[in-house]
Amino acid sequence: MHYTLLRNAAAILSYGGTTFLIDPCLDPAGARPPVANTPNQKPNPLVDLPDGWENTVAGVDALIVTHLHMDHFDDTAARVLDQSLPLFGQPEDVGRLAERGFTDLRPVDEEESLGDVRLVRTGGEHGTGDIGRLMAPVSGFVLSAPEEPVLYIAGDTIWCEPVEAAIRVHRPEVIVLNASGARFLEGDPIVMNARDIAKVHAAAPEARIIVVHLEAINHCLETRAYYRDELPRLGVDMAVVRIPDDGETIRC
């Protein structure tokens, strides 16, 4: 597999003979206002996409959309992507995606497949308490294919029972975590923070962990540099962790 981070959670995944575009956040920098009631009130996205992104996304075979928050599927994505591409996502999102013009919607109740690739949908919690309930629904996906590592894309979730269950049941060899400790002015983080990453590592110590969802949205507060310093203090073996820059490709 080849995983190329574009920005935030947007990535190009070459896996099992298929090229997927995951969570396309394609708006130019500053196109949207800051997320309301959050720290660091700056327009979103905070940074532009890597040069040449238009050609990169034009060559994909299918889309995976974990949920419909604007930092995972935005107006530019709806406008520029081929709307006839197979799009895998949550059943709850089918109506809104159809309204945006996408015609080959493949909601994943439990599992679906494309060619040799099997996709299983997993659960998550996008925060705690009332905030987590208001932010729902969110999903992750486990991908498997012959001669590929089992890949778990956790999506926008904190460490929780559904994440623990996904690791226990599917035994992923590569795990993509949306981190940054993003939060509102009140309440707990709504995606993984450093301690959550450490819990994932403890649950799957042999798995390679790719940490993304960093430095692109105003309320994403924990940075790449912070994780490189903090994760070893929490007992994480950094030999199995990658924290890619935008545009960087990881081969597993």
Could you tell me the residue range of the domain that residue 153 belongs to? 2-251
Q: For the chain, what is the domain count? A: 1
Place of tokens 């604007």: 70
pLDDT computed for residue 243 by the predictor: 98
Residue 97: pLDDT band with limits 50, 70, 90: very high
| Cis preceding-peptide flag for 137 (omega within 30 of 0) | yes
CA–CA distance, 131 with 56 (Å, rounded to integer): 35
Over range 34-50, report the average pLDDT.
Answer: 98
pLDDT, tens only, 132-160: 999 999 999 999 999 999 999 999 999 99
pLDDT at position 216 is 98
User: Mean pLDDT over residues 49-75, rounded?
Assistant: 97
pLDDT tens-digit readout, 198-248: 999 999 999 999 999 999 999 999 999 999 999 999 999 999 999 999 999
| pLDDT for position 232 | 98
Residue 118: predicted pLDDT: 98
What's the average model confidence in pLDDT over 13-20? 98
What pLDDT, in 10s, does the model give residues 158-178? 999 999 999 999 999 999 999
CA 119 to chain centre: 15
What pLDDT, on the 0 to 100 scale, is given for residue 81? 98
User: What pTM was computed for the model?
Assistant: 0.98
Q: What is the CATH number for 12?
A: 3.60.15.10
Q: How much is the average pLDDT of 114-142? A: 96
Question: Residue 190's pLDDT band (boundaries 50, 70, 90)?
Answer: very high
pLDDT > 70: percent of the chain: 100
Banded pLDDT at 75 (limits 50, 70, 90):
very high
> Residue 101: is it exposed, middle or buried by C-beta count within 10 angstroms (0-12/13-18/19+)?
exposed
* Integer angstrom CA distances of residue 110 from 12, 69, 122, 243: 23, 21, 8, 30
Angle between helices 194-203 and 224-233 (to 10 degrees): 50
**Residue 2: which pLDDT band, with cuts at 50, 70 and 90?**
very high
* Contact yes or no for 31/42 (Cβ under 8 A): no
Query: What is the dihedral sign for C-alpha 59, 64, 65, 71?
Result: negative
**Which has the closest alpha carbon to 234: 222, 244, 246?**
222
